[in-house]
A and B are shown apart, each in its own frame.
Chain A
């Protein structure tokens, strides 16, 4: 039981490049989330998917897109990376309304030069 997995663990991009962060969970959870965490700050919600087939914007969605590929997988895409997107990105999942406990992946450290 791997829980929540994320790839890659580290990534360096140049301004304007694109990339996709992958996330998968094996807990049969309905809801999945993407957060970013900047130094000295808490987590800010980028996008979330309350259930398979739905996605919604969080607090800081600009510059990002998401895809809920199936119940297990939720990807985050940066179409044209900017230095302001340098951050640590966490994916999380939860059962949904039945339980708000979120389980987090190990994170992706992204640097945009």
Chain B
């Protein structure tokens, strides 16, 4: 059975901390791994990863994929209160299906 597991389920940090969110997957016919940010409304796209070992960066956020060990991490450095959200990991399947993890709820305190 295809599945995506995220950890931790929730996280509380203080502004300025660095956090690492984890996503492991067991999906046949893997095509891509995506990260989304959800703030009480629709998810918004952060990154798409298809190749192992190539880091994607956007400001203070970065992500990398390991296709051998079947996981990805999302790093956020120098966290801000505006980073508080649920971070979702999704895996794309060759037949255009997507499997989402249950998300990591990040709370950044001032």
Report A's interface with B, CB cutoff 8 A: 31, 33, 35, 40-45, 48, 50, 56, 58-59, 90, 96-97, 99-107
**Stretch in contact with the other chain, from B52-60, B61-69, B72-80, B92-100:** B92-100
How many chain B residues touch the partner (CB < 8 A)?
23
Q: Bits for B10-53, please: 1 = Cβ < 8 Å to A, else 0.
A: 00000000000000000000011010000001111100100000
| B88 contacts chain A at the CB level, 8 A cutoff | yes
Q: Looking at the complex, which one of B34, B99, B102 makes contact with A41 (CB distance below 8 Å)?
A: B102
Given A105-B42, A106-B41, CB of A100 within 8 Å of CB of B101: no
Q: Are A48 and B100 in contact (CB under 8 A)?
A: no
Given A100-B34, A101-B34, CB of A45 within 8 Å of CB of B41: no
**Most chain B beta-carbon contacts within 10 A, residue among A41, A43, A96:** A43
Q: Taking A43-B88, A101-B34, A107-B41 as contacts, is the C-beta distance between A48 and B97 under 8 angstroms? A: yes
Q: B42 near A102 (CB under 8 angstroms)?
A: no
Q: Look across to chain B and name the residue whose beta carbon is closest to the beta carbon of A43.
A: B100
Query: Judging by beta carbons under 8 Å apart, are A43 and B43 in contact?
Result: yes
CB-based contact A102/B98 at 8 Å:
yes
Cβ-defined contact, B48 with A100, below 8 A: yes
- The distance in angstroms between the C-alpha atoms of A44 and B99, with both chains bound, is 7
Which residue in chain A gives the minimum CB-CB distance to B100? Answer: A42
Residues of A near B97 (CB, < 8 A) are 45, 48, 56, 58
Minimum CB–CB distance from A24 to chain B (whole Å) comes to 15
- Docked-complex contact A104 and B42, CB < 8 angstroms: yes
Residue of A nearest to B88 (CB): A42
- Interchain CB contact under 8 A, B100 and A44: yes
CB <8 Å contact, A97 and B96: yes
| 7 residue pairs, one from A and one from B, having the closest CB atoms | A42-B100, A104-B42, A50-B96, A100-B92, A43-B100, A100-B32, A42-B102
